[in-house]
Amino acid sequence: MRQAQQGDVASYKELLEGARVILLVYASRTLRRMGLHDQGSVDDLVQETLLAVHAKRHTYDPAQLFTPWLFAIARYKLIDFGRSRKRAGVVVGLEQVEDVLEAPVFADPTTETDLKVLMEQLPKKTRLILELVKLEGLSIAETAARTQMSESAIKVTVHRALKALRLRLSKKDME
Amino acid sequence: MSHKDLIEKLAAEASVVKRPLGAGISTAVWVGCSILLLAAAFATVLTLRNDLSSVAGRVWFLLNLLSLVAVFIFASYAGFVSSIPGRARPVKALAAVQLALLGFFLTLIPSLLHMPFENSFRLGINLSGLKCTCALALLGVVPALLLFFAVRRLAPVDRSSTAKMVGLAMGAMGAFGLSFDCMVPNAVHILVYHGLPIVLLGLAGVLVGDKILRW
């Protein structure tokens, strides 16, 4: 987004593509919960949100995380959309939303960047353990073997790392 | 239009964007401009109250002014913060607005207690007091428009709350200006014609915010 704010067309296009994938999943799930789900509504909401992202891109602060900004706009558009469509949702077949549900939620580079920024603030060893357990999906025992630490130490480290991340995220939000 | 076409179209419109000022700086700029506007109003149309030098030494008057200043500073700050998507709800600023508003009404209590009940109501509530309310609205309307367009240029995701803050800031700014003009010493008058409009403007913001701040 930083580069997009500088007028970089390629970066902006990549960002919008990534945002589209996230928004498709978000719109699909939330509209389903609201009982307003149909493919047309999902597409409308995604396009509305992309237009809003474009119109209000100057409000993004590069010092802040991108995903909370994106989801705040998406949520805003969703609420407006829900108000304007006070009707019962149309039930659609699974095949129609299959592509939406299969879309990888965290394939978006911006989400990964946000996570990376937060994780970089953790001590090196803690970061490594968290990556092994939570991102690579290794078991506690496997991680303990690889890092030559006890299993209980791994559990404690993961717990503390998650707590630290939560704290940093909430501090970032407060700022 | 397909998503792909839309993205192509939007990406083609990519350009260098001008980032808005931060919430703190925006608040400072708005407060500065509003005070200048009030000063201009006093220099041209209004006249400072005759007893200003004597009331300026009174603690309750100063506390009253201070609470109004706190209301418009914190309300405008909360308005700016809540207009930036992804920012956490400005809980402390919102609480400060409520406390400052409460403080404004509390500063009137000593005067109310020292006045005979019947007398205070008879002298405090009369139609001429509406002039003060009108003056309050006129003094606050231009600063409120400035604030309204400033937050509208951002992206207020909680429209009612933001508009409430704009309304409160307008009322407090108007009441602040009015404190230098209105000479009525009656606390009931200040409560009804200076204080109540602030609350009503906040409520009006809640009611119309959803429509006027849509983006």
pLDDT digits (tens, 9 = 90+) for A33-47: 777 778 888 888 999
d(CA A21, CA A105): 7
A136 touches chain B (CB under 8 A): no
CB pairs under 8 A between A and B: 86
Q: What token pair was written down for B170?
A: 């307008």
Mean pLDDT of chain A: 78
Give the one of A13, A50, A56 whose C-beta lies nearest to B155's C-beta: A56
User: Are A46 and B3 a contacting pair at CB < 8 A?
Assistant: yes
**Mean pLDDT of the region B114-119:** 68
Chain A residues with CB-CB distance to B84 below 8 A: 59, 61
Q: How deeply is B130 buried, as exposed, middle or buried, from its count of CB atoms within 10 A (0-12, 13-18, 19+)? A: exposed
In this predicted model, which residue has the larger pLDDT, B91 or B124? B91
The residue with tokens 């009137």 is B108
Nearest CA in chain A to B1: A47
**Mean pLDDT of the region B146-169:** 95
Q: Distance (Å) from the C-alpha of residue A10 to the closest C-alpha of chain B?
A: 8
d(CA A9, CA A13): 6
> What's this model's pTM, rounded to 2 decimal places?
0.75
The mean-pLDDT minimum among B11-15, B23-27, B87-91, B112-116 falls in: B112-116
A113 touches chain B (CB under 8 A): no
d(CA A101, CA B192): 58
Q: Distance (Å) from the C-alpha of residue B150 to the closest C-alpha of chain A?
A: 12
User: What is the predicted pLDDT for the residue at B200?
Assistant: 96
User: Are B85 and A56 a contacting pair at CB < 8 A?
Assistant: yes
Q: C-alpha distances in angstroms, B107 versus B58, B153, B175?
A: 11, 36, 14
Nearest CA in chain A to B81: A175
Chain B residues with CB-CB distance to A60 below 8 A: 85-86
**CB burial string A144-164: b at 16+ within 10 A, e below:** beebeeeeeebeebbeebeeb
Q: How confident is the model at residue A105 (pLDDT cuts 50, 70, 90)?
A: very low
B16 touches chain A (CB under 8 A): yes
Residue A101 has pLDDT above 70, yes or no: no
Q: Distance (Å) from the C-alpha of residue A54 to the closest C-alpha of chain B?
A: 7
Q: Distance (Å) from the C-alpha of residue B210 to the closest C-alpha of chain A?
A: 10
User: What is the predicted pLDDT for the residue at A72?
Assistant: 92
- The highest-confidence range among A32-36, A120-124, A171-175, by mean pLDDT, is A120-124
d(CA B205, CA B162): 8
The interface residues of chain A toward chain B in range 11-70, judged by CB-CB distance below 8 A, are: 12-13, 16-17, 20, 43, 46-47, 50-52, 54-61, 64-65, 68-70
Q: Distance (Å) from the C-alpha of residue B215 to the closest C-alpha of chain A?
A: 8
In this predicted model, which residue has the larger pLDDT, B68 or B121? B68
CB A118 within 8 A of CB A165: yes
Give the one of A8, A17, A72 whose C-beta lies nearest to B157's C-beta: A72
Percentage of residues of chain A with pLDDT beyond 90:
15
